[in-house]
Amino acid sequence: GAVVSQHPSRVICKSGTSVKIECRSLDFQATTMFWYRQFPKQSLMLMATSNEGSKATYEQGVEKDKFLINHASLTLSTLTVTSAHPEDSSFYICSARDRGNNQPQHFGDGTRLSIL
Amino acid sequence: GNSVTQMEGPVTLSEEAFLTINCTYTATGYPSLFWYVQYPGEGLQLLLKATKADDKGSNKGFEATYRKETTSFHLEKGSVQVSDSAVYFCALSATLAGGTSYGKLTFGQGTILTVHP
């Protein structure tokens, strides 16, 4: 089945640091990737939709200058949390979608970000 | 707008018990419906899907039938195992008439399932 690799799985860093998370589709080309944030014991909140070769579309309330998204190729999207603060600590999950209609999203294993 | 409502959890069952997790939805267009499972500390895995009315998705003993008349997609399994303990998410992806898919998923709140030996 389709595999999405997300790296790193866990990051612990100091306040003010910028953190980059990578999302790769390993065996298919993903024109669209999605970035989610999940708070403990809650559902996933869509942050942005990343389209290859174009600017990401951010959901209402998500700061695009805080959460930089780059989708430079059909197999790689990156999320950079700039100048991270403790309130940015969360579980971040990416997903990638096969081409074509009604194709499911395949999810990475998530990144646990802890800002001290 | 689109929304997904799942039954309140957590759900606690004994091994080999029958499982039902209810899911209802509201959507414009012709949604595709999904069940995802999340094990502790991991991302989501697609469990099953259905893309049109009356379709039945099935995988690993789990089943769900797309019921347009009741706007439901309830998850069932005849005999659960301890290894089924996880969080289950119902989700929809709205599709316009003509087959164009938005791609964006709308998730339910998740249902925690714990299965005891």
Mutate to test the interface with A, among B34, B42, B114 (most CBs of A within 10 A): B42
Chain B 52-91, residues with CB within 8 Å of chain A CB atoms: 89
* Gap between the Cα atoms of A5 and A19, Å rounded: 17
B99: left (phi over 0), alpha (psi -120 to 50) or beta: left
Q: Which residues of chain A have pLDDT under 70?
A: 1-2, 100-102
Q: State whether A97 and B103 contact (CB < 8 Å).
A: yes
For A10, the token pair is 């866990």
Tell me, what's the pLDDT at A8? 96
Give A104→chain B minimum CA distance, Å: 8
- Which residues of chain A are at the B interface, by a Cβ-Cβ cutoff of 8 Å? 4, 6, 32, 34, 41-44, 46, 49, 93, 95, 97, 101-110, 112
* Gap between the Cα atoms of A81 and A35, Å rounded: 12
Give A110→chain B minimum CA distance, Å: 5
Tell me, what's the pLDDT at A53? 80
Out of B43, B104, B110, closest to residue A43 by CB: B110
Q: Model confidence at B26, in pLDDT bands (50, 70, 90)?
A: very high
Name the DSSP letter for residue B9. S
A16: left (phi over 0), alpha (psi -120 to 50) or beta: left
Q: State whether B46 and A95 contact (CB < 8 Å).
A: no
- The CA angle A30-A36-A40, to the nearest 5 degrees, is 145
For B107, the token pair is 């998730």
Nearest residue on chain B to A59, alpha-carbon basis: B104
Mean pLDDT for the stretch of residues B5-14: 91
* Gap between the Cα atoms of A7 and A109, Å rounded: 9
> Which tens digits make up the pLDDT trace of B67-108?
999 999 999 999 999 999 999 999 998 765 555 555 788 899
Tell me, what's the pLDDT at B111? 95
Residues of B in contact with A32 (CB under 8 A): 103
Out of B36, B43, B95, closest to residue A102 by CB: B95
CA A32 vs CA A35, A47, A66, B60: distances in Å: 10, 14, 21, 28
Tell me, what's the pLDDT at B102? 55
* Gap between the Cα atoms of A36 and A48, Å rounded: 7
CA A70 vs CA A75, A98, B31: distances in Å: 11, 18, 28
Tell me, what's the pLDDT at A92? 96
Burial class (CB in 10 A: 0-12, 13-18, 19+), A39: exposed
Percent of chain B surpassing pLDDT 90: 71
Percent of chain B surpassing pLDDT 70: 93
